[in-house]
Amino acid sequence: MKNKTDTALRNALTKTGRLSQEQLDGFEREAQKAQETLFAAVLRSGLLSEKELLQLLAHELGIPFVELKLLSLDRNICTKVPQKMAAYYRFLPIRGNERGELVAAVA
């Protein structure tokens, strides 16, 4: 199933040379046949880990890749956002920045 994420991932994999054009075409055929994403097809192959794919995708989209397990969260910031809102929009408040803005991780 082709979507914007798959397009960005394909661009990232092509630019970095992590997969050949032939491999990408094969994964796209597999994904279409299985009605899954390109991300899922490449991940299932075991050629690249989930972390590697997410890092490539984040770089392609111009957003930082953050490993939440390595962060120390500012509990004070977490209390400033209603839990229902964070759950609904699928984000986790991490910290405030120097301009008083909220820095959040999104799923």
Both structure tokens of 57: 């995708």
Q: Say how far residue 24 (Cα) sits from the centre of its chain.
A: 19
Dihedral pair phi/psi, residue 30, rounded to 5°: -60, -45
Rounded to two decimals, the pTM is: 0.77
pLDDT digits (tens, 9 = 90+) for 15-58: 999 999 999 999 999 999 999 999 999 999 999 999 999 999 99
CA pair distance 14, 36, nearest whole angstrom: 20
Predicted confidence at residue 96, as pLDDT, reads 83
Reply yes or no on whether the pLDDT at 13 is more than 90.
yes
CA pair distance 78, 94, nearest whole angstrom: 7
